[in-house]
Amino acid sequence: MKRFVLVLLVTVPVGILAAQSAEDIVRRADGVMDYETAYMEARMVNTDRFGAKIIEYRGWASGTNFLMEFTSDAEYGQKILRTGDRIYHFFPDSESVFTKNRGDSILGLISYDDITDENELLDTYDVSLAGEEQIRGVPCFVIHMQVKRGKRVAYPVQTVWIARDTYTIWRVEMFTRNNQPLKTMEIREVAEYDGVQMAVDILLTDEVRTGVTSEIFVQDVELNGIIPDSLFTRRELTR
């Protein structure tokens, strides 16, 4: 489902046929991509015990590559690039580029592992249908996911709420292998751009540290425009 590319762009898949099993539901939510390229403007509000900090940015995405450019005053000119399985962070004041590694924070509650895992969910997790519940008045399938033996992931256990009629992901709870809560993602609002449903208000909650959250508010989206491949290069990163 590549949920954490929501740092750049959050798309929620739309289903057509009724799913018959947990595997069918997950396959539909994991496999539908209704755009080839995207441009987005958004802001993130990161809150912890010291208060709230607002970060504004714009981003470009094509396939698994993306480039973020910060536009808020304190971070102005910083860029984050993902190309292939590498992530780079550029700081204009020192003209330095740092490579992000496994376990590093990328932005707010988004980590390196969140946005570099390209494995299909059904290759990584055993899934089961735990029932049905409503989220914000929307009837949802509740899917339980347990990592398969021998697989290494950031979140070994997950519970996912997927809308019964549209296959929109409305909530994800992430746990350790021993079912200790790690992180929760909740989609609070969805809007439509060029026929594609987009999550435009997202809340991430750190379940380990009290009062630590990241909120993402999408302000503008343009889909399937022309974005040159040269944009997703280290050379472009330092311009």
DSSP 112: H
Residues 6+ apart with CB under 8 A from 44: 54, 55, 56, 57, 107, 108, 214, 215, 216, 217
Per-residue pLDDT of the chain (239 residues; tens, 9 = 90+): 444 444 444 444 443 334 469 999 988 886 555 678 899 999 999 999 999 999 999 999 998 888 999 999 999 999 999 988 789 999 999 999 999 887 788 889 988 877 776 667 888 999 999 999 999 899 999 999 999 999 988 899 999 999 888 888 899 999 999 999 999 999 999 888 887 778 899 999 999 999 999 999 999 999 999 999 999 998 888 87
CA distance 107 to 41: 15
Give the per-residue pLDDT at 31: 57
Q: What is the residue extent of each domain of the chain? A: 3-237
Give the per-residue pLDDT at 34: 62
Q: Please give the CATH number for the structural domain made up of 3-237.
A: 2.50.20.10
CA distance 79 to 67: 7
Place of tokens 């021998």: 150
CA distance 127 to 38: 30
Is the alpha carbon torsion for 111, 117, 118, 120 positive or negative? negative
The half-sphere exposure of 120 on its side-chain side, counting CA atoms within 13 A, is: 8
| Strand locations in the chain (E) | 37-48, 51-62, 65-70, 79-83, 86-91, 96-100, 105-107, 110-111, 125-135, 138-147, 157-163, 169-175, 181-193, 196-206, 213-223
Burial of residue 229 (CB within 10 Å: 0-12, 13-18, 19+) is: exposed
The half-sphere exposure of 218 on its side-chain side, counting CA atoms within 13 A, is: 28
Give the per-residue pLDDT at 118: 61
pTM of the model: 0.86
CA distance 227 to 131: 42
